[in-house]
A = this chain, B = another copy of it.
Amino acid sequence: MRVVIGGIDGYIGWALALHLISRGHSVIGVDNFITRRRVEEVGSWSATPILDMYERLKVVEELTGQRIDFVEGDLTDYAVVRGVFNKYKPDAFVHLGEQRSAPYSMIDVHHAVETQVSNITSSLNIVYAMKDVSPHTHLVKMGTMGEYGTPNIDIPEGFFEVEYNGRRDYLPFPRMAGSWYHWSKVHDSGNMMFANKIWGLTITDVMQGVVYGTRTDEIVDERLHTRFDFDEVWGTALNRFCVETVLGLPMTVYGRGGQTRGFISLTDSVQCLRIAIENPPDKSEYRVLNQFDEAYSVIELAKKVYEVAKRKGLEPAIANVPNPRVEAEQHYYNPIHEKLKKLGYKRTRMLEDELSIILDDLVKYKERLEAKREVIFPRTDWRRPRNPLR
């Protein structure tokens, strides 16, 4: 299949590109490298050294013999998006090209607005371009399990049967997100559902859990590394814990650590995305997939890292720091995630094994982590945004 990846320079985008070409798909990437600039803005960088895109693509060709087409461009520019759809008329477009950090969106009003505006704009541009020049394309849109929040009832895959005052309907499940970033994905989901309704576009909206890991089967050479963020703004919980442990810092568990989320390894995330691409929904269907393997509380994760690190002779420690976020620290959590399994998804990575690989990889790049140790501890606070006018 011919697949365009919006955001190919990102953590998942790059790993997905390598996975798709290994499966014989033809891949085109789009990126404007804004994540690199935004990570620099907060004084950080990727733990794994990553080549620039044009070098990356040369290495891919050298190692696999396969060519990935690349378009340098901004998905918030309609002419760019329309141009890509017009030129490639892809079977699938995977939209990974959004601002994806919750803390970044919480820095101040300008980061809140930038996150919601750029995320909504890119998705609107994509559905209009599909409608305009490529209506057969299957859009695979990255959302987040965080759209649902932590309701006291089970979380279905997007929609549920409601009975209320004696009548019934099948409705979108209520969303209760926990940051401006997570809300931007809720807004996107509403917009995607509507684009499907009015134009019959074929869309898979992926509610993904937190992704962890440094490797996929295709990352066989240092020059093929995907980025790996670890600072308080760009690093996800588990990745951050591993980095803290390698640096001899205590793992920063926010609050009591009972916050429970769905997690999935990078390898299995790109497996899921590949399955979604290879198994599109019916034409003109809007499909929601809950994409994660297992739910863990933050403190359970920290304990897993502790065990694995200890076995390696590292000296792990766990600290409960004041929670900079506004979230329940003990709650019910039971999201349903069956649809991907029915499409053939099988978990291939166990948490402990993956943690071992991450720690080994990070030990290699310890100097890069040391250089940025001051940006690991949380300072973006949900309750106290920075004042952009002071």
Binding site for B on A (CB under 8 A): 78-79, 82, 108-110, 112-113, 116-117, 120-121, 124-125, 128-129, 131-132, 151-154, 156, 160, 162-165, 167-169, 171-178, 180, 183, 186-187, 190-191, 193-194, 197-199, 326, 332, 382-383, 385, 387-389
Nearest CB on B from A337, distance (A): 15
B residues in contact with A387, CB < 8 Å:
132
CB pair A389 B326 closer than 8 Å: no
Per the bound structure, the CA–CA distance linking A173 and B198 in Å amounts to 22
Beyond A128-B385, A162-B164, 14 additional pairs, beta carbon < 8 A: A78-B388, A79-B389, A109-B124, A113-B121, A113-B124, A116-B187, A120-B187, A152-B167, A152-B169, A153-B162, A154-B164, A183-B191, A187-B187, A198-B383
B186 touching A190, Cβ below 8 Å? yes
Cα A164 to Cα B332 in complex, Å, equals 13
| Contact present for A117 and B109 (CB under 8 Å) | no
Q: In the complex, what's the smallest C-beta–C-beta distance from A130 to chain B, in angstroms? A: 11
Q: How many copies does the complex hold?
A: 2
Which residues of chain B are near A199, meaning CB under 8 Å?
Answer: 383
Docked-complex contact B326 and A198, CB < 8 angstroms? yes
Q: Which residue of B lies closest to A383 (CB)?
A: B198
> Which of B109, B172, B183, B194 is within 8 Å of A78, CB to CB?
B109
25 CB-based A-B contacts, threshold 8 Å: A78-B109, A78-B110, A108-B128, A109-B129, A113-B121, A116-B120, A116-B187, A116-B191, A117-B121, A120-B187, A132-B385, A151-B169, A153-B164, A154-B167, A172-B174, A173-B174, A174-B174, A176-B193, A178-B194, A180-B191, A183-B194, A186-B187, A186-B190, A187-B190, A198-B382
A125: chain B residues within 8 A (beta carbon): 109, 113
A186 surroundings in chain B (CB, below 8 A) = 187, 190
* Contact in complex: B194, A168 (CB < 8 Å): no
Chain B proximity of A159: nearest CB distance (Å)? 9
Closest CB in chain B relative to A174 CB, distance in Å: 4
Complex CA distance for A306 and B316, rounded to whole angstroms:
79
A160 CA to B385 CA, complexed, in Å:
31
Q: Within 8 Å CB of A160, what residues of B?
A: 164
CB distance from A154 to the nearest CB of B (A): 5
User: Which residues of B lie under 8 Å from residue A124 when comparing CB positions?
Assistant: 109, 112-113, 116, 180
A163 contact set on B, CB distance < 8 A:
153, 163
State the Cβ distance, A318 to closest chain B Cβ, in Å: 26
